[in-house]
Chains A and B, each alone.
Chain A
Amino acid sequence: MRWFVRIASWAYALAVYGFIFLPVVVLVLFSLQATSFPIPPFTGPSLRWYDAVLSDTRLTSALVNSLLVASISSATAVTLGFLSAWGFARFVLPGSGLLRGLITLPLTVSYLIIGMGLLVLFNWAGVPKSLLAAGIGHVVINLPLCFAIIYSQMGDHQINIERAARDLGAPEWKVLLLITVPVMAPAIFAGFFLSMTFSWDEFVISFLLTRFETTLPVEIWNLLRSGLNPKTNAVGSLVFAVSIVLVVLFELTLLRRRKA
């Protein structure tokens, strides 16, 4: 009986992980296909489709665009998130609870709604569809996230550290730059890498807010419209690999925080 329970629990675990990871495994496997269709039987391995991706200037420029949008929007989101977290943690503000709720509210609103709202707003304000517009959209979705991560790590024990710096003659901007930012560095990096991950494979907002120059997920969608081929698998695998790297960096920074 006991061996049966053991086998059943293993089988269950395998099924769950299989359900989660099988699509990715299939995606990566058929990106190594040697022939023109990403369907069984597997004919590879071959790197010809990766070669095709990297020689496709539309895909590579979209990749560069994605990296630019992700890094700049994440840096902006993390800076604004840090400053608002610091403000909320260190100063008594009227209606502080309500304001804090409002700043994290976008976390619960769907990207589609945010994207459409920005589209209407930018139309009205005369901001053309562009990478900048998509980047602003990414700041909107990632700022609440950065705020929540950094605010949760801003404990009272740092208040005296900041006071000590002020007491020793540091003006406010030096307190922030030399004390608060380094002390909060793990949370700040965690916020940054998580924002990067979300921005990197965000589709809806980029789709709605860009036109000629666009980000990689939108370009992949364009590619998919002409049917499946191993090239889409290859570029998908590349996106996945970058996401993994970002998530690992995020985990590492959080882990280091916990040890300290």
Chain B
Amino acid sequence: MTAPLVDIRAVSHRFGQLAVLKNVSLRIEPGSYTILLGPSGSGKTTLLSILGGFVTPSEGKVFIRGEDCTAVQPAKRPTTTVFQDYALFPHMSVGGNVGFGLRMQGVDGATRAAKARETLALVGLAAAFDKKPHQLSGGQRQRVALARALVIEPAVLLLDEPLGALDLKLRRQMQDELKAIQKRVGTAFIHVTHDQEEAMALADHCVVMNDGRIEDEGPPERVYARPATRFSATFMGESTILAGKVTQARDRTSTVETPAGAVFAPSTLPVGSAVALAIRPEHLAFNAAGAVKLGTAQVRDVVFQGSFKRVLAVSAEDPSLQFIAKLPASATVQPGDTVAVSCDTDQIIVLTD
């Protein structure tokens, strides 16, 4: 097996008394688009800063291209960062900004300008070479920051919530472009975000973080369909969570006693195990058609979202249990309706934490 491009080994970090990273290990493959997804305070930005060399971890090691980079300065390591606030040099032209990294490498002016123009063209800003950063829009500045970081051909490009400052429409547009640019240059991108839609749209490899730990990692399709933990089931997309206990185990199917009644779920856990059952909103039906009956519920809230309706309903069996369902836009449910709730056995995700 070839060595991974980035190998984070058992990294922990504390700010004073506060442990922000707890024994995190992560491998990143060449050419991949990795998303570090998590709420604020989950340690994702600290992990990015450790990769960029702005923070030296309290414990653990970071290898990049097989070399120990744990305490190597940002200037000396093969990473570049796109900062959340872009951090463009306000007194330099766009060309000067993009050429800065090459200038530091001692590349002559003509080559520098040619390469800067080439990279600006790559991000679709060929015409902005002579402009000053303050003459550009937010989205354009973002591209300049990207070009500036890409022009010196880093092994890894680090992006710290790069789309956070843009409005929604521009964010979705830049998202598509980021992915296209990454595929074109083939550099490994590591991108920090708290936006799960962004994560699903961009990632080849999605790393869900919470409270200084990696909760789950893998292709976004897998993380969504089969989340490893309860946190990842609720943070990467929504889920209805049923807490319960295994009361019977028969080859690959368990009977789980839940507030909504006994449920057959695919698992091999022994009798007595505490489990949480997660059901994605699109798999929950507000009728009795599914094989697994989850009792009845009263509809609380119906939110029309264009292509679908997001419906919240409270279980009649246990008022603390809330169902979240995604129904077709044509569904006729109203707040106050009493509905039967069901789903299919193989759509139930069994979580053991």
Contacts and interface: CB of A to CB of B under 8 A. Distances in A.
Interface of A: 157, 160-161, 163-171, 174, 179, 182-183, 185, 260
Given A157-B85, A183-B90, A167 B104 contact: no
B152 interface: yes
A170 B89 contact: no
Interface of B: 52-54, 73-76, 79-81, 83, 85, 87-91, 100-101, 104-105, 134, 148-149, 152
Contacts of A163: 54, 74, 81, 83, 87
Given A157-B85, A164-B88, 5 more contacts: A165-B89, A167-B53, A168-B75, A168-B80, A185-B91
Nearest to A164: B87
10 contacts: A160-B87, A161-B87, A163-B74, A165-B100, A166-B73, A167-B81, A168-B148, A168-B152, A170-B100, A170-B104
Given A174-B104, A183-B90, A167 B80 contact: yes
B150 to A, nearest CB: 11
Contacts of A182: 91
Minimum-distance CB pairs A-B, first 4: A168-B101, A169-B104, A160-B87, A164-B87
B54 to A, nearest CB: 6
B248 to A, nearest CB: 58
Contacts of B90: 161, 183, 260
B100 A168 contact: yes
B54 A179 contact: no
B83 A164 contact: yes
B105 A160 contact: no
A157 B89 CA distance: 11
Nearest to A181: B91
A170 to B, nearest CB: 5
Contacts of A260: 90, 134
Nearest to A171: B75
B152 A169 contact: yes
Contacts of A157: 85
Nearest to A168: B101
Contacts of A174: 104
B87 A170 contact: no
A167 B74 contact: yes
B104 A161 contact: no
